[in-house]
Amino acid sequence: MFYLPVRKVLKCLIKKRNLARQERHAASLTECLIKESSQQEKWNYKYHIIIIIVILLILSLKIFQQYQYEMLMEDGEPFDYNETLSMCAINTTFGKTPINRLITKNVLERLYPTVLKGGYYRPRDCQPRHKVAILVPYRDRALHLRIFLYNMHPFLMKQKLEYRIFVLEQAGLDIFNRGRLFNAGFKEVMKLGKWQCVIFHDVDLLPLDDRILYTCPIWPRNMCGTIVEEKDPTFRTLYGGVSAMDVKHFSKVNGYSNSYWGWGGEDDDIYKRLHEAGIPVTKYDKQIALYTSLRHVKQAPNKNRYKLLRTALKRSKKDGVSSLKFKVISVTLLHLYTHIVIDINPNKEIVQEIYFK
């Protein structure tokens, strides 16, 4: 090997100089080299071991890089992506979306292999125009969640969006609080990617028309025009059910109010906040934006909601996403969604008191 003579010559030269210093006889260089060569075997191994260690280090670095890459994928970051692709076409499929309500867990586990862990999807054949986080408040509705995932993924994939579905589960036994879940979920989700907008989505509502776009709107957009099961002809929602909103608008109005426990109110409250901030809310045509609602036992409406709504604007600065105390219990990346369990009442406020005061 090339390094051996160099090393030996150097060693012998040093030896020679040291011997000369000690004024003993100066050993000849050749003599020294011959002597050194007899020890060659022993020294060779030492260098081989060093080379093997270096190779192992390089290999392990490569493996670590690969591992890091996989970790990123799991976190919903883009896979190796071709930036030269052209922009995705704007959705022009104007069909009705059929809803399938029968789906078993086992079948669902094997569906949609192009959706990455954590419910993240990005089209591979074009550059998506929108990066959307879909936030679904949840508790105790396993069947609805299955139907939701089964129908929403193909619906969203068709629209060539980059998106991820986050299911926000309320921990504990307090009465449900949709506003708090959205506020806490929003904060957590912003740590998991650079989302342009968020869509606040009830788990029991499913779009029936491909013209309902889940793109990021310029102004906040309420998506449910008509809920087909709704018998009341005067029924309308200003901001409930399903709504899309730019991230900066959500922050500007301080998110949802934290005060609405039980059913109702929080959506009208944020509508007031938006109105006050001069942010218009757009709505789809009633004939187009059809949604079906999955059947469930009606929750107790919050009797206190009208009283709260009257003081909504007074509270907005100090009651919202900026002031909510919450604790994330777990974040799990599952096959078709990211499951976030949140304690939205870590200070153990007595909800009954807030609810009825």
For Mn ion, which residue has the nearest CB? 204
Q: Using alpha carbons only, how large is the chain's radius of gyration in Å?
A: 32
Distance CA 162, CA 127 (A): 9
Task: State which residue, 204 or 267, has the beta carbon closest to Mn ion.
Answer: 204
279, 253 contact by CB (below 8 A): yes
Task: State which residue, 174 or 204, has the beta carbon closest to Mn ion.
Answer: 204
Task: State which residue, 203 or 340, has the beta carbon closest to Mn ion.
Answer: 203
198, 244 contact by CB (below 8 A): yes
274, 237 contact by CB (below 8 A): no
For residue 273, the minimal CB distance to Mn ion (Å) is: 22
Task: State which residue, 96 or 296, has the beta carbon closest to Mn ion.
Answer: 296
Distance CA 47, CA 139 (A): 63
For residue 155, the minimal CB distance to Mn ion (Å) is: 19
Distance CA 103, CA 86 (A): 36
* Angle of the 178-191 helix axis to the 266-276 helix axis, nearest 10: 60
329, 343 contact by CB (below 8 A): yes
For residue 292, the minimal CB distance to Mn ion (Å) is: 12
For residue 176, the minimal CB distance to Mn ion (Å) is: 11
For residue 147, the minimal CB distance to Mn ion (Å) is: 13
For residue 299, the minimal CB distance to Mn ion (Å) is: 8
Binding site for Mn ion (CB under 5 A): 204
HSE of 242 in the Cβ direction (CA atoms, 13 Å)? 25
Task: State which residue, 76 or 241, has the beta carbon closest to Mn ion.
Answer: 241
Task: State which residue, 162 or 267, has the beta carbon closest to Mn ion.
Answer: 267
